């Protein structure tokens, strides 16, 4: 089974995972109010990617899967006043992949780019860090599905390093230094939005360093930055900004350490 998981395009796991959470939100957390923007987001991302494949003559038609992930990622994390803003978000997310390229590859996570630009520059979009609640089951499910994604994408290392570094820093800050109960620390960690960000965006194999050691170090640096911005500068949406401002460094790390660029078919090819 592990062999099969290895051979499967990890984007399928990610799509299943994100869809599960979206359904959970729609059924139980009152996200049904945003149904229209969800539909627009997914359709628009798919549409823009299809146009890009058609007119930019891309050989890789499997990138439609990536666009679906981007669409779902926007549904899960971005909130807008006008559902049509989701089309703008989709255009930004997909469009930037073909504008900001380094060495032939995009370096920003598409959904994160769109979220950061729209939230930072317009009055039409925002992120609600509390919207996925603090139910124990949500992080557990996210971890299980995320683990499958990362196992398949061979990116479990950055998730583990990122998660444990942030856990350790928060534990030191809240429990050891400030003297709060362990519940306060756990409350930080039991946040569904944080887990979605950590496992589906920060660990994006396209936008994290390719060299394994560099990737581990990257996990530590990102976690430290998120900790600093969120808990010392008091910005509740820290992961959005940290990821946005720090990912442009990744191509330089890749050049410096001369690692081959990630390819979604990489595992398939090596396994066959």
Partner 1 sequence: MKKINVKWIMTLSLGFLSLATFAFCGFYVAKADATLFNNRSEVILVRNGDFTVITMGSDFKGDVKEFAMVVPVPVVLNRSDISVVDKGIFARLDAYSSPRLAEYYDEDPCGRIPVVQEDQWSVEESNMRVPTTSSKMEVDKKNYGVTIEAQYTVGEYDILLLSAVESGGLKQWLVDNGYKIPSKAERVLAPYIKSNMKFFVVKVNLEEMKKSGYNELRPIQIRFTHPKFMLPLRLGMANSAGSQDMIVYAFAPSGRIECSNYRNVKVPTDRGIPLYIKNDFGMFYKDVFETAWSREGENAVFLEYAWNVSPSWGGVKCDPCVGPPPMNRDFTMAGVGQTGGWNNIFFTRLHVRYDEAHFPADLNFLTTTNQEQFQARYVLQNPAQGYGGWACEEGQLYLSKLHDRRKLEMDELVQLTGGRFAYRSNYISEYDQYLEEVPMEWMKEEAPEQFELPTKKGSIIPTDVLPEVSLQVSQWSWKEVLGVVVILLVMVRVWKSK
To partner 1, the closest distance from the beta carbon of 2 in angstroms equals 11
Phi, psi of 105 (to 5 degrees): -130, 150
To partner 1, the closest distance from the beta carbon of 235 in angstroms equals 7
Strand partners, 105: 102
Q: Which CB, 48 or 244, lies closer to partner 1?
A: 244
Q: Which CB, 1 or 99, lies closer to partner 1?
A: 1
Residues 6+ positions from 130 with CB-CB distance below 8 Å: 191, 193
Find tokens 């149904």 and name the residue. 35
Q: Which CB, 129 or 209, lies closer to partner 1?
A: 129
Q: Specify whether the CB–CB gap between 93 and 125 falls below 8 A.
A: no
Interface map 33-72 toward partner 1 (x if CB under 8 A): ----------------------------------------
Q: Does 13 bind partner 1 (CB under 8 A)?
A: yes
Q: Does 181 bind partner 1 (CB under 8 A)?
A: yes
How many of the chain's residues bind partner 1 (CB under 8 A)? 51
Q: Does 172 bind partner 1 (CB under 8 A)?
A: no
Strand partners, 80: 125
CA distance 54 to 34: 30
Compute the CA torsion angle 45, 46, 48, 49 (nearest 10 deg). Answer: 110
Q: Give the residue ranges of DSSP H helices in 124-178.
A: 137-153, 156-170
In the list 78, 89, 148, 250, the residue contacting partner 1 (rule: CB under 8 A) is: 148
Q: Does 83 bind partner 1 (CB under 8 A)?
A: no
Q: Does 243 bind partner 1 (CB under 8 A)?
A: no
* 3-state class (DSSP) for residue 106: strand
In the list 126, 156, 189, 228, the residue contacting partner 1 (rule: CB under 8 A) is: 126
To partner 1, the closest distance from the beta carbon of 227 in angstroms equals 15
Q: How many angstroms separate the Cα of 255 from the Cα of each of 3, 110, 205, 214?
A: 31, 21, 16, 12
Q: Does 188 bind partner 1 (CB under 8 A)?
A: yes
Q: Write the DSSP string, 45-105.
A: HHHHHHHHHHHTT-S-TTHHHHHHHHHHHHHHH-EESSTTHHHHHHHHHHHHHHHSEETTE
Stretch that binds partner 1, among 37-45, 63-71, 135-143, 214-222 (CB under 8 A): 135-143
To partner 1, the closest distance from the beta carbon of 55 in angstroms equals 33
Phi, psi of 125 (to 5 degrees): -140, 155
Interface map 86-125 toward partner 1 (x if CB under 8 A): ---------------------------------x--xxxx
Point out which residues bind partner 1 (CB under 8 A). 1, 4-5, 8, 13, 16, 27-30, 79, 81, 119, 122-126, 128-138, 140-141, 144-145, 148, 174, 177-181, 183-184, 186-188, 191, 233-237
């Amino acid at each position: 089974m592990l062999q099969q998981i290895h051979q499967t395009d990890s984007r399928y796991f990610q799509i299943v995972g994100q869809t599960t959470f979206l359904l959970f939100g729609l059924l139980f957390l009152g996200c049904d109010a945003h149904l229209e923007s969800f539909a627009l987001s997914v359709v628009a991302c798919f549409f823009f990617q299809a146009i890009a494949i058609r007119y930019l003559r891309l050989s890789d038609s499997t990138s439609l899967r990536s666009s679906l992930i981007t669409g779902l990622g926007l549904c899960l994390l971005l909130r807008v006043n006008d559902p049509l803003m989701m089309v703008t978000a989709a255009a930004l997310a997909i469009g930037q992949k073909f504008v900001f390229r380094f060495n032939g590859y995009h370096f920003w996570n598409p959904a994160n780019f769109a979220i950061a630009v729209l939230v930072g520059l317009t009055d039409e979009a925002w992120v609600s860090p509390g919207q996925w609640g603090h139910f124990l089951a949500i992080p557990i499910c996210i971890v299980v599905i995320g683990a499958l994604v990362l196992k398949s994408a061979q990116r479990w290392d950055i998730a583990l390093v990122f998660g444990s570094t942030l856990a350790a820093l928060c534990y030191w800050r809240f429990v050891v230094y400030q003297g709060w109960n362990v519940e306060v620390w756990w409350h930080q960690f039991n946040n569904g939005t944080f887990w979605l960000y950590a496992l589906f965006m920060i660990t994006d194999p396209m936008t994290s360093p390719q060299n394994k050691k560099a990737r581990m170090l990257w996990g530590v640096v990102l976690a430290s930055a998120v900790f600093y911005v969120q808990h010392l500068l008091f910005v509740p949406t820290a992961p959005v900004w940290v990821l946005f401002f720090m990912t442009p460094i990744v191509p330089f790390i890749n050049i410096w350490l001369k690692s081959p660029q990630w390819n979604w078919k990489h595992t398939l090819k090596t396994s066959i």
